Structure 1
Amino acid sequence: MGREKPILLPKHKKLLTELGENIKLARLRRKFSAEQVSERANISRPTLLSIEKGSESVSIGLYLQVLIVLGLEKDLSLIAKDDELGRKLQDAELRVKERAPKENSG
């Protein structure tokens, strides 16, 4: 019994497809074969091809393994780095204290 494939909206599927294409282009620019990358990432060649197609059924951990082989793992730290909407929502929830905290004069 296999896992169910996640259901994504077309615009979200397009994002994954673009990610897969970018990964494939990075591999080709480095002149790595699919066999080399899959072996170094410890995944099967069909799994690598699924990643390069932007498959939503491949775990993010496997995407990361391929990014590590390509030297692009630091790109993941850029995701949600500048969360402008999140900061605005957080700021809207902040409450201003009426008085400053007491100072401890020890």
Structure 2
Amino acid sequence: MGKKSIELLPQTMEILETMGEQIKMARLRRDISAELVAERANISRATLWNIEKGSPSVAIGNYAAVLHALNNMDRDLLKVAKDDEFGRKLQDLNISTKKRVSNKER
């Protein structure tokens, strides 16, 4: 059984590539070797290199493990979709309001 091919929109690929570059820069700023980060994240160096390239075939759990290995940067994942402005607007549109006052309220 072969690997599934992952096809993403170009915008999403750019985001992953940027995230990979940012992860690599965070590692380099901390002066931590790829070997040590891979060991701390319990992944192979090849997987770390794929993360640093922004590969969509790497499981998100591995991205999180690498971020954790870089001094608990995985906490930033809690910010993902936290303030869902668009979703709240859609939700508000679907909330029905009473147009008439009930007899009990008169």
Compute the TM-score of the two structures, normalised by the length of structure 2.
0.88
Question: What's 1:2 paired with?
Answer: 2
Residues 5, 56 of structure 1: 8 Å contact kept: no
RMSD: 1.6
d(CA) in 2 for partners of 1:47 and 1:3?
A: 15
Amino acid at match of 2:48: L
d(CA) in 2 for partners of 1:28 and 1:2?
A: 34
d(CA) in 2 for partners of 1:99 and 1:65?
A: 55
Compute the TM-score of the two structures, normalised by the length of structure 1.
0.88
Task: Give the percent of matched residue pairs that are identical in Structure 1 and Structure 2.
Answer: 55
Following TM superposition, the consecutive aligned residue runs of length 4 or more in structure 1 with deviations greater than 3 angstroms are: 97-100
**Which of the two has greater helix per residue?**
2
| Paired residue total | 101
Question: What's 1:35 paired with?
Answer: 35
d(CA) in 2 for partners of 1:68 and 1:2?
A: 30
Amino acid at match of 1:76: L
